[in-house]
């Protein structure tokens, strides 16, 4: 198995990207191709030498975070994200991982890999830490505006991913809404609800935002990309602010510092549960290839776990499952 890794994408590229790749080949039976500017990549390697099962694919250009994604992808044919995507398209890599511009990765995947036949819009899925373990939410930014049929497709793809990768049997699917009642919501959610009811999914109804962190109601939470992105970034910001506040308060006096030593192990466990790096990344669902999107500030651990996710996606063949399930969903919606 060969994974193409965009070595130039992310806030800490290429140093942390290369570290994560090196760690992955030590623990997994895979090959990793670091895609990017060869000399900069070599500077990050031990003694500047390539270890076993690590290769470099030259890509002279980089798509910057402030560039218009689609324009940059079309203009910069030799950018690391475009070259990595092309490798998946041509079959010289089984999957790609990038922590660079999400918009550029989505554009490169759509233009280079194309959509799965029958999928109207792709969706970015992410794993949210909850009290019941990792749960899925999608879309978290691919499409700010969506139609009811798009949300149904998201739900189907998310359900397959939850079962194939997270190991959740018959995942419970919930529609993110402002109330649990069937009559609550805006035009989009009101129109989506009956479509999900008719689908073969294990649809449990509406899920309110406050229920999401508990993880008890739904394994897969579906929404449009605008709402999902706000939820994701609010959750990240709230977790960071909460831990900063706790740190300030429990170390504000000598007595509290002594107490902090007693609860330090527990705080470390909580921090690990909420750490995005533990999940690494998740695929852009709906494109005809495995394209793993990682957080822009990914460190070595996050890239290592993103490569692990890519490996699991290749092994699970979940894209083929999506293709097989589409006719069943289409017939259910047509009834």
Residue owning tokens 């590229």: 13
Could you tell me the maximum CA-CA distance found in the chain, to the nearest angstrom?
68
pLDDT in tens, 27-70: 999 999 999 999 999 989 887 778 889 999 999 998 888 888 88
pTM comes to 0.86
Q: Is residue 327 part of a domain?
A: no
* pLDDT for residue 78: 93
Q: Work out the percent of the chain whose per-residue pLDDT is above 90.
A: 49
Closest CA to 139 of 196, 223, 236: 223
What is the Cα–Cα distance from 70 to 75, expressed in whole angstroms?
Answer: 9
Q: Is residue 269 part of a domain?
A: yes
Alpha carbon 260 to chain centroid, angstroms: 34
Q: How sure is the predictor about 334, in pLDDT bands with cuts at 50, 70 and 90?
A: low
Say whether both 108 and 162 belong to one domain: no
Roughly how many angstroms between the first and final C-alpha of the chain, as a whole number?
42
Residue 15 has pLDDT above 90, yes or no: yes
- What is the SS3 assignment for 4? strand
Say whether both 8 and 115 belong to one domain: yes
Say whether both 302 and 159 belong to one domain: no
- What is the SS3 assignment for 333? helix
* pLDDT for residue 232: 86
Tell me which of 295 and 276 has the higher pLDDT.
295
What is the Cα–Cα distance from 98 to 22, expressed in whole angstroms?
Answer: 15
To the nearest whole number, what is the mean pLDDT of the chain? 88
Q: Could you list the residue range(s) of the whole structural domain that residue 128 is in?
A: 122-279
Residues 6+ apart with CB under 8 A from 38: 56, 58
Domain count, the chain: 2
Residue owning tokens 């899920």: 207
* pLDDT for residue 54: 93
Say whether both 159 and 256 belong to one domain: yes
- What is the SS3 assignment for 284? strand
Say whether both 145 and 216 belong to one domain: yes
pLDDT in tens, 191-216: 999 999 988 899 999 999 989 988 88
Structural contact between residues 290 and 313, judged by C-beta atoms closer than 8 angstroms: yes
13-17's contacts with Cβ under 8 Å and 24+ in sequence apart are 13/99, 13/100, 14/40, 14/41, 14/44, 15/44, 16/298, 16/299, 16/300, 16/302, 16/303, 17/99, 17/298, 17/303
Closest CA to 310 of 285, 292, 286: 292
Q: Is residue 96 part of a domain?
A: yes
* pLDDT for residue 332: 62
Residue 173 has pLDDT above 90, yes or no: yes
CATH number at residue 105: 3.40.718.10
Say whether both 15 and 84 belong to one domain: yes
pLDDT in tens, 296-331: 888 999 999 999 999 988 998 888 888 887 777 666
3-state DSSP: the chain helix, strand, coil percent, rounded to 5? Answer: 50, 20, 30
Say whether both 275 and 292 belong to one domain: no
């Amino acid at each position: 198995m060969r994974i193409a890794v965009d070595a130039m994408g992310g806030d800490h590229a290429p140093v942390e990207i290369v570290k994560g790749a090196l760690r992955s080949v030590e623990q997994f039976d895979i090959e990793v191709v670091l895609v990017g500017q060869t000399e900069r990549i070599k500077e990050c390697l031990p003694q500047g030498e390539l270890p076993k099962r690590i290769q470099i694919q030259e890509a002279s250009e980089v798509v910057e975070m402030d560039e218009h994604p689609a324009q940059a992808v079309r203009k910069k044919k030799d950018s690391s994200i475009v070259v990595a995507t092309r490798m998946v398209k041509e079959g010289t890599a089984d999957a790609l991982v990038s922590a660079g511009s999400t918009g550029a990765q989505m554009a490169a995947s759509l233009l280079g890999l194309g959509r799965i036949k029958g999928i109207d819009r792709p969706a970015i899925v992410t794993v949210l830490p909850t009290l019941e373990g990792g749960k899925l939410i999608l879309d978290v930014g691919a499409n700010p505006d969506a139609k009811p049929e798009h949300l149904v497709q998201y739900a189907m793809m998310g359900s397959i991913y939850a079962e194939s990768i997270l190991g959740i049997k018959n995942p419970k699917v919930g529609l993110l809404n402002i109330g649990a009642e069937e009559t609550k919501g805006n035009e989009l959610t009101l129109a989506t609800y009956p479509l999900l009811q008719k689908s073969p999914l294990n649809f449990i109804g509406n899920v309110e935002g406050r229920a999401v962190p508990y993880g008890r109601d739904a394994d897969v939470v579906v929404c449009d990309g605008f709402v999902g992105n706000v939820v994701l970034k609010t959750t990240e910001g709230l977790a960071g602010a909460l831990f900063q506040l706790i740190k300030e308060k429990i170390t504000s006096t000598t007595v509290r510092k002594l107490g902090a030593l007693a609860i330090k192990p527990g705080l470390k466990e909580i921090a690990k549960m909420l750490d995005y790096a533990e999940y690494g990344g998740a695929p852009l669902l709906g494109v005809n290839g495995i394209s793993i999107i990682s957080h822009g500030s990914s460190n070595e651990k996050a890239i290592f776990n993103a490569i692990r996710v890519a490996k699991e996606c290749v092994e699970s063949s979940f894209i083929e499952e999506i293709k097989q399930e589409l006719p069943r969903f289409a017939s259910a919606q047509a009834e």
